[in-house]
Structure 1
Amino acid sequence: MVTVRRAGELVGKWFTLVVLAAGALALAAPGAFAGWSPAVPWLLSVIMLGMGMSMRPVDFAVIGRRPWALLLGVAAQYTVMPLLGYGVAHLLSLPPELAVGMILVGAAPGGTASNVMVYLARGDVALSVAMTSVSTLLAPFLTPLLVLALVGQTLPVSGTALFTSIVQVVLVPVLAGLALRLLVPRLVERCLDVLPLVSVAGITAVVLAVVAGSAATVLSAGALVLLAVVLHNVGGLALGYAVGRLCGLPVASRRAISIEVGMQNSGLAAALATVHFSPAAALPAAIFSVWHNVSGSLLAGRWSRRPVAADVRTGEPATGPLAR
């Protein structure tokens, strides 16, 4: 298990390069991976099962302790990013399928990697975990409504079909994973070190499928989509922090909300786009999955050198090399 843990740490460290290499490979040989699209929802289900297995009831304790911060963060998650995605898509005059992809990314819940970034940024980890968990559980209801409201003007979409898909690939696996954690905790504890490897393998396979299926779109509009994704992500990070600051939250909570709002579950967006629209609509999600890890790492690195008054992970004053 020590070897597995080290392998998980290694792929986590080089995740961005792994995904970039996968995208380049899919672009160079799209025919080898274009047939993988039907597997995307199943890959996401496996990742969501792992997320559920890593969750504990204590992760929701912040709801009772600081409901205002959690409600504010989740509200920002489901308003800032969808509207920003819609605005950026129309600002850059993206084609309808790419605009749909941007909105899907914006309407998705928080990404699982955000918790690690918040920890590295010396932010409020408990708030981050609660936001990821709650926004994921709310996704079957809020994501279809938002997509229906914003995408319905561009392309026909079925809110019921989206709801069913999210229940199948997100809610059921997450609840199953949480149930396993409660019923067979020892077995799940043995599996936790494998989960980072599974997540990276799953996201890598999703990127291979999406880029291969939209290779022509990548070659014709890749730079424009990259610009749209960067504006979307950076805008989410900035506005998330601004919301926390305007509402008087402490610095650690602002950092958590910023990263949670800016980092999305792009795997879910890619799966929904692939099933309900086209591989081209999944392209913004594929690019987002790479870029938000780059921007999140850079921001976390900057904030790690600017510690807050207390270490929110322990409740003790910030000490050690990160406090200098």
Structure 2
Amino acid sequence: MRVLEKLSNFVGKYMAYIVIVIAAIALFVPTTFSFLKASYINPLLMIVMFGMGLTLKLDDFKLVLSRPLEVLIGFASQFAIMPLIALSLVKIFNLPPELAVGVVLVGTCPGGTSSNVMTFLAKGDVALSVTITSFSTLFAPILTPFITKLLIGATVEVDVMSMFISIVQVVIVPIALGFVINKFFGKITEKLVKILPLVSVTAIVAIVATVVSLNSAKLMTSGLLIIAIVILHNSFGYLLGFFTARVFGLSLSKQKTIAIEVGMQNSGLATSLAATAFAQYPLATIPGAIFSVWHNISGAIIANFFAAMKDEKEETNNA
């Protein structure tokens, strides 16, 4: 068990580098991962979501009652800022439908679970981060299909019900199962949680490897454009999230938290939805896969930058 814990800590710490290496191998030597199939994406994402459920407790949801405004600001920013940035990028770069779908899906999905780790490293408000991630994920079956339909429904056929069912199956059910198990078998899950990074990183890496290897040829021709769009999407998410929290007068720790929550997406879900609800557009899975790689790199960078920032108000009070 100790060996697994050490390995889990290692992959958790160096996740960004591992994902980059695997993505590069999948791109340049796709046959390496020929055993991976598109049908594996949903089960792999379900494993990640089940792991998230194992870490949740009832106390994580009580924060919404004691600090509703902070949670609402983060929640609303998540489902307003990222979708609007996605739509703007689609229009500015005049993306074809199959790429537009992928970019918009990344924008309309809830926050990513790795945002909680990055918030901790950034010296942000971890409790607020967990609450916003949890609530945005729970509301995703309704908001993600609805916003996607609103943004691109005029040009691309969006099956709202199919998306709703897919998100419930892939996200809500595994999280709920993990939550229930944690509730009744807490002592066991305390031990399992220590090796969760190993399981989650393995699943995420496998998703990235699957998508990149299956689309390596097309990615080689349009990869630079998608990478640029992903970087812009992610960067503006951090920036606008940070200044939105500042406009509302939240403390620096909460500004950091909301910036990270907005900027980091559940790109695995975006990839899953692209593969199932928009199977007619093979390239739609690419933005989510690239986002999975990039936001772990940028998240580590922004967390390091944020950690060095100090709240002037707090320093004045302590003086």
Q: How does the TM-score come out when normalised to structure 2?
A: 0.94
1:2 shift after superposition: 2.6
Matched-pair contact (CA < 8 Å) for 2:50–2:175: yes
Residue deviations 1:167-191, cap 9 Å, x none? 0000000011000000111111121
Unpaired segments of 5 or more residues in structure 2? none
SS at match of 1:155: coil
Q: Which residue of 2 aligns with 1:72?
A: 73
CA distance in 2, matches of 1:204, 1:97: 23
Do structure 1's residue 284 and structure 2's residue 287 form an aligned pair?
A: yes
Q: CA deviation at 1:217?
A: 2.0
Q: Contact 2:252 / 2:310 at 8 angstroms: preserved in 1? A: no
**What is the alpha-carbon distance in structure 1 between the residues aligned to residue 26 and residue 300 of structure 2?**
25
Post-superposition offset of 1:30: 2.7
Cα offset for 1:309?
A: 6.7
Deviations 1:203-253 (A, max 9, x none): 111011111222122111100000000110000000001111111111111
1:299 aligns with 2:305: no
* Equivalent in the alignment of 1:197: 198
Residue 237 of structure 2 corresponds to: 236
What is the distance in 2 between the residues matched to 1:304 and 1:2? 30
Q: Deviating runs (4+, > 4 A) in structure 1?
A: none
**Contact 1:118 / 1:259 at 8 angstroms: preserved in 2?**
yes
Inter-partner Cα distance in structure 1 for 2:95 and 2:277: 19
1:220 alignment partner in structure 2:
221
For this pair of structures, how many residues does the alignment match?
312
Distance 2:282 2:57 in 1: 35
Q: Answer whether contact 1:5 1:194 (CA < 8 A) is retained.
A: yes
Equivalent residue for 1:321?
none
2:254 aligned residue:
253
Report the 3-state secondary structure (helix = DSSP H, G, I; strand = E; otherwise coil) of the residue aligned with 1:94: coil
Q: Could you tell me the percent identity over the aligned residues?
A: 43
1:134-169 residue CA offsets vs partner (Å, 9 max, x unmatched): 001011110010111112123212000000000000
SS in structure 1 at match of 2:272: helix
**Structure 1 position 32, deviation (Å):** 5.0
- State the AA in 1 paired with 2:251: P
Cα separation, partners in 2 of 1:155 and 1:197, compared to 1, 3 Å: same
- Partner secondary structure for residue 123 of structure 2: coil
Q: How does 1:308-323 map to 2 (within 5 A)?
A: 308=311
Relative to structure 1, the CA distance from residue 105 to residue 238 in structure 2 (aligned partners, 3 Å threshold; closer, same or farther) is same
* More displaced 10-residue stretch of structure 1: 22-31 or 191-200: 22-31
Distance 1:125 1:310, change over 3 A: farther
The answer to whether the Cα contact below 8 Å between 2:98 and 2:282 also exists between their aligned partners in 1 is: no
Matched residue, 1:188 = 189
Corresponding residue for 2:10? 10
Residue 22 of structure 1: how far off its partner (Å): 1.4
2:95 maps to 94
Distance 1:234 1:40 in 2: 26
* Separation in structure 2 between the aligned mates of residue 143 and residue 125 of structure 1, nearest angstrom: 24
Deviates more, 1:54-63 or 1:20-29: 20-29
Task: Give, as a single letter, the amino acid of the residue that structure 2 aligns with 1:129.
Answer: V
Match of 2:108 in 1: 107
SS in 1 for 2:37: helix
Larger deviation, residues 27-36 vs 91-100: 27-36
Deviation at 1:31, TM superposition (A): 4.2
User: Is the aligned partner of 1:146 residue 2:136?
Assistant: no
Cα contact 1:118–1:256 (8 A) shared by 2: yes
Query: 3-state SS of the aligned residue for 1:227?
Result: helix
Question: What is the match of residue 179 of structure 1?
Answer: 180
| C-alpha distance in 2 between matches for 1:152 and 1:62 | 35
